[in-house]
């Protein structure tokens, strides 16, 4: 339901910010606080919920895992090759032994190169495929969510989750996760080879590993929390962009550019600060882990060097041990570095799963009741009470009851906020009533198939939605199989061809985002043509001619009168002159029907309708028998 807003005089000189700026800032601040109060996941286990998306691609996952194992084994084999080169090639002085060791080295390099190439391709393919599936799944869920969800959730945040969060997830699933697994394998395999090479030195390394892991555990939780905060700030940026660009004409008309620029800059700086805080902790985490790890390696080298001098181990053994120690140290450092990315992915996954796990409140019944064929167009509203989710304390409708017979034309009139548009939204089942029942052709609409119900109705809203495509595609919206001839006839019936034929490509002209290339009246006629093409049993007109000039209104009114013949029509109108010919007028106030009848009957009652009519019709020019008076 839409509320009228009265504007003061708009002057050409802009001196001050609009008075609602403070309110907008406070609203955004409250939204940000709500976002920050959502508890992020405690660890990386949230990533395991992605396994369901990996299940259809088990063969690719197994192939990538095999390539990963082979590559890790090849890297670990370098230590043995190095030991053989030192002990059997260099120390013995045998060229044949040296040549054999180097050939073995080339073989290991070849195996590693092939396996790494296979791993990179398969892991990247899996990442792209899984994220594409997640994007489709989340978007499909968003399309099923009722309008009430978007009363309390910013569109920009949803867009951010579908774009920024999924892009981050693609990088992690497509590379970072594999790198993390690779380094984990190298750490575990390297520790095994260290133990085989020298148990004494391996014990020293094992004592050093916890020293490196402790800061990873302590700082990891902070990185995770800051990662979620950073993603939320990016969502705030998207919300500001969406809001400002959607209302760009209002922004410029009220000279609000400087203020919006400052607000956007503030959100960007907040995102920058959050990212820097996350990066600072991540950098500290990486530096600490690497410092502790290589200090431990230095100690091992000192002890191992003395063992070589004492003859307790060979030079080849020490060389292999140093290689494995450096491999383990480097892998631990790399693992700590990618841990930040994994924690960011955990935050992104959590945000996506919040959408994916959100259950729509308006859903298809498990066993829908079939609507009568052919459709009759009978509407019954019985004792309906309803509150909007964003306004739970104020009822939009209170114990409302009304009946519209098939083919009847009923108008809903009343002041703004009376509940007129709410009736249409409940009939289309954008919301379900808190109590009471709405029946369509005798069937409770909550028990009917949702798509079948909506296909029998056509809505022409006060502010029609035009999509960023051609006029032809806008008219046939929802009817992809309709012929071009039918689209043309619908456009002619709505008197839309009068301006469409003048466009550069005619009916195939791109209309711009949200139909920005059309006037308000032209957008209205496109919406009416869309309703005509649908040929509904029930026609819902929500101020369908409010944006038209006098000539266009006359043409469209003629088209609507033809369209209304033989079908049920519910009309919402503020201009009472447009409802004089309907079968019944229902006067609404504060969610209730306070009067009903025809125009003349309601005027004679001297009630709310009579007052509304007096306010409107007193401004119309009246014939006068007195001559016009000139200046004296």
pLDDT band at 291; cut points 50, 70, 90 = confident
Tens-digit pLDDT profile for residues 344-366: 777 777 778 888 888 888 878 88
pLDDT band at 88; cut points 50, 70, 90 = low
In terms of domains, do 304 and 262 share one?
A: yes
Tens-digit pLDDT profile for residues 311-347: 777 777 777 777 777 777 777 767 766 776 777 777 7
427: buried, middle or exposed (CB in 10 Å: 19+, 13-18, 0-12)? buried
For residue 39, pLDDT beyond 50: no
In terms of domains, do 386 and 325 share one?
A: no
C-alpha 307/C-alpha 296 separation (Å) is 17
| 177-197 helix and 58-84 helix, angle to the nearest 10 degrees | 30
For residue 38, pLDDT beyond 50: no
Per the structure, the complete domain to which residue 217 belongs is given by 45-356
What local confidence, expressed as pLDDT, does residue 77 receive?
Answer: 78
- Any idea which residue has 């548009």 for tokens? 421
Domain boundary among 356, 390, 423: 356
Which residues is 404 bridged to in the sheet? Answer: 379
In terms of domains, do 334 and 428 share one?
A: no
Quote the number of domains for the chain.
2
pLDDT band at 1; cut points 50, 70, 90 = very low
Highest mean pLDDT: which of 114-118, 184-188, 279-283, 439-443? 439-443
Residue 16 falls within a domain, yes or no?
no
pLDDT band at 463; cut points 50, 70, 90 = confident
pLDDT, average across residues 612-618: 71
pLDDT band at 35; cut points 50, 70, 90 = very low
What local confidence, expressed as pLDDT, does residue 207 receive?
Answer: 72
- Which is higher by pLDDT, 137 or 176? 137
For residue 416, pLDDT beyond 80: yes
The pTM score is: 0.64
Which residues fall within 8 angstroms of residue 160, CB to CB, at 6 or more apart? 231, 234, 235, 237, 238, 239
Looking at residue 513, what DSSP letter applies? G
pLDDT, average across residues 454-468: 85
Residue 361 falls within a domain, yes or no?
no
pLDDT, average across residues 80-109: 70
For residue 619, pLDDT beyond 70: no
What sign does the dihedral 613-614-618-623 (CA atoms) show? positive
Residue 36 falls within a domain, yes or no?
no
Domain boundary among 290, 325, 356: 356
pLDDT band at 11; cut points 50, 70, 90 = very low
Residue 19 falls within a domain, yes or no?
no
pLDDT, average across residues 71-86: 76
For residue 80, pLDDT beyond 90: no
Q: Which of 68-72, 238-242, 408-412, 621-625 has the lowest mean pLDDT?
A: 621-625
Tell me the DSSP string of 288-354.
Answer: HHHHHHHHHHHHHHHHHHHHHHTTSS-HHHHHHHHHHHHHHHHHHHHHHHHHHHHHHHHHHHHHHHH
Structure-block tokens of residue 45: 């286990």
Q: E strand or H helix at 59, and its extent?
A: helix 58-84
Q: E strand or H helix at 114, and its extent?
A: helix 95-144
- Which is higher by pLDDT, 515 or 67? 67
- Which is higher by pLDDT, 13 or 424? 424
Highest mean pLDDT: which of 145-154, 246-255, 470-479? 470-479
pLDDT band at 386; cut points 50, 70, 90 = very high
pLDDT band at 246; cut points 50, 70, 90 = low
Highest mean pLDDT: which of 106-110, 306-310, 447-451, 494-498? 447-451
In terms of domains, do 132 and 254 share one?
A: yes
What local confidence, expressed as pLDDT, does residue 618 receive?
Answer: 57
For residue 628, pLDDT beyond 70: no
In terms of domains, do 273 and 417 share one?
A: no
pLDDT, average across residues 504-522: 81
581: buried, middle or exposed (CB in 10 Å: 19+, 13-18, 0-12)? exposed
- Which is higher by pLDDT, 387 or 102? 387
Q: Count of CB atoms within 10 A of residue 50's CB?
A: 19
Asked if residues 74 and 111 have their Cβ atoms less than 8 Å apart, the reply is: yes
Q: Count of CB atoms within 10 A of residue 504's CB?
A: 7
First-to-final CA distance of the chain: 51
In terms of domains, do 350 and 449 share one?
A: no
Indicate the SS3 state at residue 505: coil
In terms of domains, do 51 and 158 share one?
A: yes
Q: Which of 187-191, 311-315, 439-443 has the lowest mean pLDDT?
A: 311-315
pLDDT, average across residues 456-479: 85
What local confidence, expressed as pLDDT, does residue 383 receive?
Answer: 93
In terms of domains, do 351 and 383 share one?
A: no
What local confidence, expressed as pLDDT, does residue 19 receive?
Answer: 38
In terms of domains, do 350 and 298 share one?
A: yes
Indicate the SS3 state at residue 365: coil
C-alpha 157/C-alpha 349 separation (Å) is 14
What local confidence, expressed as pLDDT, does residue 5 receive?
Answer: 35
What local confidence, expressed as pLDDT, does residue 224 receive?
Answer: 63
Residue 369 falls within a domain, yes or no?
no
In terms of domains, do 249 and 352 share one?
A: yes
Residue 329 falls within a domain, yes or no?
yes
Q: Minimal CA–CA distance to 533: which of 477, 469, 453, 454?
A: 477
Indicate the SS3 state at residue 594: strand
Asked if residues 249 and 516 have their Cβ atoms less than 8 Å apart, the reply is: no
pLDDT, average across residues 265-274: 84
What local confidence, expressed as pLDDT, does residue 480 receive?
Answer: 72
- Any idea which residue has 């999924």 for tokens? 166
For residue 262, pLDDT beyond 70: yes
Highest mean pLDDT: which of 293-302, 470-479, 622-631? 470-479
CATH number of the domain at 150, please.
1.20.1560.10
Residue 2 falls within a domain, yes or no?
no
pLDDT band at 605; cut points 50, 70, 90 = confident
Domain boundary among 322, 356, 390: 356
Asked if residues 72 and 116 have their Cβ atoms less than 8 Å apart, the reply is: no
Residue 274 falls within a domain, yes or no?
yes
Q: Minimal CA–CA distance to 325: which of 206, 179, 452, 218?
A: 206
pLDDT, average across residues 551-575: 78
In terms of domains, do 159 and 117 share one?
A: yes
C-alpha 257/C-alpha 3 separation (Å) is 26
What local confidence, expressed as pLDDT, does residue 208 receive?
Answer: 64
Q: Which of 176-185, 263-272, 453-462, 611-620 has the lowest mean pLDDT?
A: 611-620
- Which is higher by pLDDT, 328 or 441? 441
For residue 552, pLDDT beyond 70: no
Alpha helices in 198-256 (DSSP H): 199-246, 248-253
Looking only at Cα atoms, what is the longest distance across the chain? 129
Asked if residues 340 and 282 have their Cβ atoms less than 8 Å apart, the reply is: yes
Q: How high does pLDDT run on average in the chain? A: 77
Tens-digit pLDDT profile for residues 574-603: 777 677 788 899 999 989 999 888 888 888
For residue 562, pLDDT beyond 80: no
- Which is higher by pLDDT, 537 or 300? 537
pLDDT band at 199; cut points 50, 70, 90 = confident
C-alpha 517/C-alpha 470 separation (Å) is 11
544: buried, middle or exposed (CB in 10 Å: 19+, 13-18, 0-12)? buried
In terms of domains, do 185 and 281 share one?
A: yes
pLDDT band at 384; cut points 50, 70, 90 = very high
What local confidence, expressed as pLDDT, does residue 304 receive?
Answer: 75
pLDDT, average across residues 19-40: 40
pLDDT, average across residues 168-188: 78
CATH number of the domain at 477, please.
3.40.50.300
pLDDT, average across residues 240-251: 73
């Amino acid at each position: 339901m839409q509320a009228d807003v009265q504007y003061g005089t708009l002057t050409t000189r802009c001196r001050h910010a609009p008075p609602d700026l403070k309110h907008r800032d406070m609203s955004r601040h409250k939204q940000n606080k709500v976002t920050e109060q959502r508890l992020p996941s405690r660890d990386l286990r949230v990533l395991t919920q992605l396994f369901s998306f990996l299940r259809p691609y088990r063969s690719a996952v197994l192939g990538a895992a095999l390539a990963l194992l082979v590559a890790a084994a090849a890297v670990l084999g370098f230590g043995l090759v190095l030991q053989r080169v030192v002990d059997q090639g260099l120390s013995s002085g045998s060229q044949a032994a040296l040549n054999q060791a180097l050939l073995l080295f080339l073989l290991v390099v070849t195996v590693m190169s092939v396996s790494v190439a296979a791993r990179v391709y398969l892991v990247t393919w899996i990442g792209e495929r899984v994220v594409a599936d997640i994007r489709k799944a989340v978007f499909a869920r968003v399309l099923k969510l009722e309008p009430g969800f978007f009363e309390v959730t910013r569109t920009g945040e949803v867009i951010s989750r579908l774009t920024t969060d999924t892009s981050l997830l693609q990088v992690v699933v497509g590379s970072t996760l594999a790198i993390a697994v690779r380094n984990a394998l190298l750490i575990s395999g390297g520790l095994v080879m260290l133990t085989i090479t020298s148990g004494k030195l391996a014990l020293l390394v094992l004592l050093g590993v916890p020293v490196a892991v402790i800061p990873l555990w302590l700082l990891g939780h902070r990185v995770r929390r800051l990662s979620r905060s950073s993603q939320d700030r990016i969502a705030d940026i998207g919300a500001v962009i969406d809001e400002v660009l959607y209302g760009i004409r209002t922004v410029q008309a009220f000279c609000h550019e400087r203020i919006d620029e400052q607000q956007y800059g503030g959100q960007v700086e907040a995102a920058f600060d959050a990212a820097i805080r996350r990066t600072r902790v991540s950098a500290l985490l990486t530096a600490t882990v690497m410092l502790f790890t290589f200090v431990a390696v230095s100690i091992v080298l000192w002890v191992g060097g003395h063992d070589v001098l004492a003859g307790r181990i060979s030079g080849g053994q020490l060389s292999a041990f140093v290689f494995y120690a450096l491999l383990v140290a480097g892998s631990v450092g790399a693992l700590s570095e990618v841990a930040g990315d994994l924690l960011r992915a955990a935050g992104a996954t959590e945000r996506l799963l919040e959408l994916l796990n959100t259950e729509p409140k308006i859903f298809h019944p498990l066993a829908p009741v079939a609507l009568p064929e052919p459709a009759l167009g009978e509407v019954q509203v019985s004792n309906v009470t309803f509150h909007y989710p964003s306004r739970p304390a104020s009822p939009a409708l209170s114990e409302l009851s009304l009946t519209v017979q098939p083919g009847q034309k009923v108008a809903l009139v009343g002041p703004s906020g009376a509940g007129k548009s709410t009736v249409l939204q409940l009939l289309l089942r954008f919301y379900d009533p808190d109590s009471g029942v709405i029946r369509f052709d005798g069937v409770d609409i909550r028990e009917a198939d949702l798509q079948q119900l909506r296909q029998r109705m056509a809505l022409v809203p006060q502010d029609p939605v035009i999509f960023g495509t051609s006029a032809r595609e806008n008219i046939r919206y929802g009817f992809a199989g309709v012929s071009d001839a039918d689209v043309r006839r619908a456009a002619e019936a709505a008197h839309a061809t009068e301006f469409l034929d003048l466009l550069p490509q005619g009916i195939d002209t791109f209309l711009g985002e949200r139909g920005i290339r059309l006037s308000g009246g032209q957008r209205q006629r496109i919406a009416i043509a869309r309703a005509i093409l649908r040929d509904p049993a029930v026609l819902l007109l929500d101020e369908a001619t409010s944006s038209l000039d006098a000539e266009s209104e006359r043409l469209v009114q003629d088209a609507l009168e033809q369209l209304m013949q033989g079908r049920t029509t519910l009309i919402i109108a503020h201009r009472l002159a447009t409802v004089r010919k309907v079968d019944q007028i229902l006067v609404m106030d504060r969610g209730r029907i306070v009067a009903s009848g025809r125009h003349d009957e309601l005027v004679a009652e001297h009630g709310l309708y009579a007052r509304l009519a007096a306010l409107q019709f007193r401004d119309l020019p009246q014939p006068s028998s007195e001559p016009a008076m000139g200046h004296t």
